Amino acid sequence: MSKRILAAALLLSVSVLPAYAAKTSLVVGMPIEPPGLDPTIAAPVAIREVTLANLYEGLVRIDRNGKVQPLLAKSWEISPDGLTYTFRLQEGVKFHDGTTFDSADVKFAFDRARDPKSTNAQKQIFAPIVSIETPDPATVVIKLKETSGNFLTYLGWGDAVIVASETAAGNAANPVGTGPFKFKSWTRGDRVELVKNPDYWQKDKTKLESVTFRFISDSQAQVAAVRAGDVDAFPNLAAPELFAEFQKDSRFKAVAGNTEGETVAGMNNAKKPFDDVRVRRALMHAIDRKALIEGAYSGFGTPIGSFFSPNNPAYVDTTNVIPYDPAKAKALLAEAGYGNGLSITIKSPQMAYASRSAELMAAMLSEVGVEMKIIPTEFPAKWIEEVFKNKDYDVTIVSHTEPLDIDIFARDSYYFNYKNDKFKALIADAAKTTDEKARFAKYAEAQKILAEDVPALFLFQLPKLGVWNAKLQGMWENSPIPINDVTEVSWTE
Amino acid sequence: MLRLIISRLVSLAITLLFVSLAIFLILEVLPGDPAAIMLGTAAREDTLAALRQEMGLDQPALIRYLEWVGGILYGDLGTSITYKMPVSTLVAERMNVTLPLSLLAILISTVLALPLGVAAAARRDGPVDRAVLVFSQLGVAVPNFWIGLLFILFFSTWLGWFPAGGFPGWGNGIGPALQALLLPALALALPQAAVLTRVTRSATLEVIGADFVRTARAKGVDRRSTLRRHVVPNALIPVTTILGLQLSFFFGGAILVENVFNLPGLGRLAYQALSQRDLVVIKDIVLIFSGLVIVVNFLVDIGYTILDPRLRSRT
């Protein structure tokens, strides 16, 4: 009898005790499932949003303010000419499979990324590298052929995480990194489960025992899952029209932050009439960015006048360079010879922000005598084929989510068909400038050139509409790079 | 019977061969470069070329077709471009959702439709008949994905009785898994149940009007027994035809319903693969769906011969 009572008491204490301790599991909702879990071989943002900082680590990390912080490299020195980087590595770091991390792994990971056969989506960040030397297991010396102002920032991106030679080939399905969480399982189409890495080199870095990423594409289903408590946090909700309700609900914290996604209506600058800067400026003058954001994204999102994220410290506000002014738009169109009207088309992807923006833009343009016909174009497949590769379009609209990607306007073969030698030289110069202040000044000038030349209609920065349980702390409000860093997240009760 | 089965199997194989060729040709002309989709808008041309080579996309079309079909004959469905996993593993995982979902929907649909249809026909223009007509009218008019959305709103968001979507996996017990499948199965089943109810009702009505039924009644067999012994078995023949056709609707409908309920089934995999242009996975899934439909029709044919003794004696 007494044994039974004891057993019952034990059972009771076991079942009751954990209820007093803070919760240690986290379920994060994401709109898109990653195709594979290796950020070094493919571009999709979703791969980084599951793995970066949680599973894999780079030499440095980008913190929630977009600043470079040490990670696997505890410190570094840059030679006065800016061509030699010497990294001192953390010691006692182990990969999830138990093997030791050292300088050879850094050399392997970067050599793999810059190999001619590599499919790294941001291969250009490794392009300046001439050699990688490993004088001892805790030191890496990287020599560049030309200075690279953003080199350290790049090393914090998902494309530059450190992977081990033994496991790299299988990382897409069975990821092995050095991060505070290790891979447990992937129920494809539904969820990825991570568990705490007990041997993590920064003891007590994270309070969470497990993190589950669930993939819910339908915006109504996302809202339902958050409300029902099936998901604790949805860092990037796809339902702006329902976001305001969460803001009023005290059970949730709802924060409208910024992503790195510049939403722009790119124009075919090589094609008539878009080869005429007066026409491009006229179209920009015809667009009321505030009203557009109101209609397309329920008022969330920051207007932009150029191609730079407001998250970035080098950002300058250029929204007043070509403000909303329909009268001026008409005058410019008349000057360019289109006083009697103009008929153009827009290839619009199916994403809600894009198709809604296209409709609103068509309405605004009709006010100044421009008839814009909307051609729905499936994204990504059809859009990449027709617009991106074949450049068979007048106007299109898409959000460019890569961070620090203003250089796409300096590329010759890019889909905008934009050619501006002054801009190109300036971007090349900025990329090589190691002095931060001087580099920022060059980026500011580049932003102003684009704002005046309008190779694309600059609309708004895609917001990051985050909703999470009010008892959660440590969630990121902005995403300075594509990432869902949950390593500092915990439950308050 | 054996000859029937063998000739059916041969035509099954030939149909599948044609289907495979059609799928391959359609995907050949479908716009979209899987390598560009994987590497995004910032990738350079040499990186794209490297990935295309890795994916085998630089091979001529004929070689790629023969490699695909040849692989299937050896039981190798290939490796997914996006997931970097054997397609057979992916499909097996997804079958764990789609097969139970479809079976559950068929069960619900049949269990609802047969008694309702027979009951409606038994008392024509009675209150049951009227109710059934309204139900079947509504069911035919409302699409399954919309029913699914309503269910989520009502049962998950308001009442909180069911999860709002997603699938916990069979590893966490049969209860939660079935709970996750019940609403989608209902959403999938209701429109088909409506069709099946109508067919059952009209088939039953037709048989009720037949001479042999009147004879049976005249011989003194009571109403209930006539219905059970003479009417229903005869009415089942057209109903089986429709049920066979509906099975392909269940697989097709699963694509929509699985997306609404966020279920990791074969339909959702097909949808994802299509948007990612994971050509290997699309080809395999379309072939599997076609195969399933062909096999089901084959089974329905066999089912006829069991239900209808006249067909049995002929072969």
Q: For residue A391, what is the domain's CATH number?
A: 3.10.105.10
Give the pLDDT score at B119. 86
Nearest chain B Cα distance for residue A101, angstroms: 26
- By three-state DSSP, how is residue A23 classified? coil
ipTM above 0.90, yes or no: no
Q: Verify that B129 and B215 share a domain, yes or no.
A: yes
Q: Verify that B102 and B57 share a domain, yes or no.
A: no
CA distance readout (Å), A37 to A186, B9, B20: 10, 42, 31
Q: Verify that B23 and B157 share a domain, yes or no.
A: no
A92 touches A215 (CB < 8 A): no
**Chain A residues with CB inside 8 Å of B261's CB?**
221
The residue assigned the tokens 């309008």 is: A454
* DSSP-derived secondary structure letter, A484: -
* DSSP-derived secondary structure letter, A205: S
B68 touches B78 (CB < 8 A): yes
Tell me phi and psi for residue B96, to 5 degrees. Answer: -60, -20
Interface test with B, best of A112, A118, A119 (most B CBs within 10 A): A119
Pick A119's closest partner by Cβ from B47, B94, B268.
Answer: B47
pLDDT (tens, 9 = 90+) of chain B, 315 residues, equals 677 778 878 888 898 899 999 999 988 887 778 888 888 777 778 888 888 888 888 888 899 899 899 998 888 998 888 788 899 998 998 888 888 998 899 899 999 988 898 888 888 888 888 988 888 888 888 888 888 888 887 887 778 787 777 787 787 788 888 888 888 999 999 888 998 898 888 888 888 888 888 888 888 888 888 888 888 888 888 888 888 878 777 877 888 888 888 888 888 888 888 888 888 899 999 898 888 888 888 888 777 777 777 766 544
CA distance readout (Å), A384 to A270, A390, A405, B22: 18, 8, 18, 24
* DSSP-derived secondary structure letter, A383: H
Q: Verify that B138 and B261 share a domain, yes or no.
A: yes
Q: Verify that B65 and B132 share a domain, yes or no.
A: no
CATH code (residue B291): 1.10.3720.10
Cβ distance B262 to A221 less than 8 Å, yes or no, reads: yes
Task: Tell me how many domains chain A contains.
Answer: 1
Cβ distance A121 to B43 less than 8 Å, yes or no, reads: yes
Prior bond of A273 cis (ω within 30°): yes
- By three-state DSSP, how is residue A248 classified? helix
A447's tokens = 């932003």
Q: DSSP string spanning chain B?
A: -HHHHHHHHHHHHHHHHHHHHHHHHHHHHS---HHHHHH-TT--HHHHHHHHHHHTTTS-HHHHHHHHHHHHHTT---B-TTT-SBHHHHHHHHHHHHHHHHHHHHHHHHHHHHHHHHHHHHTTTSHHHHHHHHHHHHHHHS-HHHHHHHHIIIIIIIS--S-SS----GGG-HHHHHHHHHHHHHHHHHHHHHHHHHHHHHHHHHHHTSHHHHHHHHTT--HHHIIIIIIHHHHHHHHHHHHHHHHHHHHHHHHHHHHHTT--SHHHHHHHHHHHT-HHHHHHHHHHHHHHHHHHHHHHHHHHHHH-HHHHHH-
* DSSP-derived secondary structure letter, A100: B
- Separation CA B207–CA A260 (nearest Å): 68
- By three-state DSSP, how is residue A234 classified? strand
- Separation CA A36–CA A47 (nearest Å): 7
**Chain B residues with CB inside 8 Å of A217's CB?**
259, 262
Cβ distance A381 to B31 less than 8 Å, yes or no, reads: yes
A479 touches A46 (CB < 8 A): no
| B51 inside domain | yes
Nearest chain A Cα distance for residue B307, angstroms: 40
Cβ distance B160 to A228 less than 8 Å, yes or no, reads: yes
For B172, counting Cβ atoms within 10 Å of its Cβ (0-12 exposed, 13-18 middle, 19+ buried), the class is: exposed
Residues contacting residue A271 through CB under 8 Å, at least 6 positions apart: A394, A417
Residue numbers in chain A where pLDDT is lower than 50: 1-2, 6, 8-19
| A191 inside domain | no
Cβ distance B54 to A172 less than 8 Å, yes or no, reads: no
Give the pLDDT score at B11. 84
Cβ distance A228 to B94 less than 8 Å, yes or no, reads: no
Domain containing A444 equals 261-463
| β-sheet bridge partners, residue A457 | A265
Interface test with B, best of A174, A187, A383 (most B CBs within 10 A): A187
| A250 inside domain | no
Prior bond of A380 cis (ω within 30°): yes
For Cα atoms A263, A398, A432, give the angle at the middle one, nearest 5 degrees.
65
Domain containing B232 equals 93-314
| B135 inside domain | yes
SS3 content of chain A, % helix, strand, coil (to 5): 30, 25, 45
- Separation CA A109–CA A168 (nearest Å): 8
Cβ distance A116 to B82 less than 8 Å, yes or no, reads: no
- By three-state DSSP, how is residue A77 classified? strand
| B254 inside domain | yes
Give the pLDDT score at B312. 62
Give the pLDDT score at A12. 45
Residues B253-283: b if buried by 16+ CB within 10 A, e if exposed = bbbbbbbbbbbbbbbbbbbbbbbbbbbbbbb
Q: Report chain B's terminal Cα–Cα distance, integer Å.
A: 6
CA distance readout (Å), A298 to A397, A462, B288: 18, 12, 43
Consecutive H or E run containing A104: helix A103-114
- By three-state DSSP, how is residue A244 classified? helix
Cβ distance A389 to B163 less than 8 Å, yes or no, reads: no
- Separation CA A475–CA A57 (nearest Å): 18
- Separation CA A140–CA A46 (nearest Å): 30
Q: Verify that B106 and B233 share a domain, yes or no.
A: yes
**Chain A residues with CB inside 8 Å of B87's CB?**
none
Nearest chain A Cα distance for residue B51, angstroms: 6
Q: DSSP string spanning A253-321?
A: EEEEEEEEEEEEEEB-TTSTTTTSHHHHHHHHHT--HHHHHHHHHTT-SEE-SSSS-TTSTT----TTT
**Chain A residues with CB inside 8 Å of B260's CB?**
218, 221
Nearest chain B Cα distance for residue A403, angstroms: 10
For B67, counting Cβ atoms within 10 Å of its Cβ (0-12 exposed, 13-18 middle, 19+ buried), the class is: middle
| B157 inside domain | yes
Consecutive H or E run containing A429: helix A421-432
| B203 inside domain | yes
Task: Tell me how many domains chain B contains.
Answer: 2
**Chain B residues with CB inside 8 Å of A400's CB?**
41
A257 touches A308 (CB < 8 A): no
For A309, counting Cβ atoms within 10 Å of its Cβ (0-12 exposed, 13-18 middle, 19+ buried), the class is: buried
The residue assigned the tokens 């067919």 is: B199
Measured torsion, CA atoms of residues A273, A274, A279, A280, in degrees rounded to the nearest 10 = 170
Interface test with A, best of B39, B46, B147, B159 (most A CBs within 10 A): B39
Angular region, A301: left φ>0, alpha ψ -120 to 50, beta rest? left
Q: Verify that B186 and B271 share a domain, yes or no.
A: yes
Strand ranges inside A377-455, DSSP E: 395-396, 398-400
- For B:18-77, CB contacts with A below 8 A are 30-33, 36-47, 50-51, 53-54
Cβ distance A118 to B30 less than 8 Å, yes or no, reads: no
Nearest chain B Cα distance for residue A189, angstroms: 4
Interface test with A, best of B41, B97, B271 (most A CBs within 10 A): B41
For B3, counting Cβ atoms within 10 Å of its Cβ (0-12 exposed, 13-18 middle, 19+ buried), the class is: exposed
- Is B165 an 8 Å CB contact of chain A? yes
Q: Verify that B65 and B99 share a domain, yes or no.
A: no
- Separation CA A92–CA B268 (nearest Å): 43
Nearest chain B Cα distance for residue A475, angstroms: 24
Cβ distance A224 to B157 less than 8 Å, yes or no, reads: yes
Q: Verify that B235 and B121 share a domain, yes or no.
A: yes
| B282 inside domain | yes
A370's tokens = 């421009």
* DSSP-derived secondary structure letter, A226: H
A275's tokens = 């080869």
**Chain B residues with CB inside 8 Å of A123's CB?**
43-44, 46-47
Cβ distance A33 to B272 less than 8 Å, yes or no, reads: yes
Q: Verify that B60 and B109 share a domain, yes or no.
A: no
**Chain A residues with CB inside 8 Å of B96's CB?**
none
Cβ distance A188 to B90 less than 8 Å, yes or no, reads: yes
- For B:253-292, CB contacts with A below 8 A are 259-265, 268-269, 272, 275-278
- Separation CA B94–CA B79 (nearest Å): 15
Pairing mode, if any, of strands A395-396 and A342-348?
Answer: parallel
Pick B166's closest partner by Cβ from A119, A214, A398.
Answer: A214
Q: Verify that B57 and B104 share a domain, yes or no.
A: no
CB atoms under 10 Å from CB of B32, counted, come to: 21
Pairing mode, if any, of strands A181-187 and A191-196?
Answer: antiparallel
- Separation CA B125–CA B131 (nearest Å): 10
**Chain B residues with CB inside 8 Å of A228's CB?**
156-157, 160, 163-164
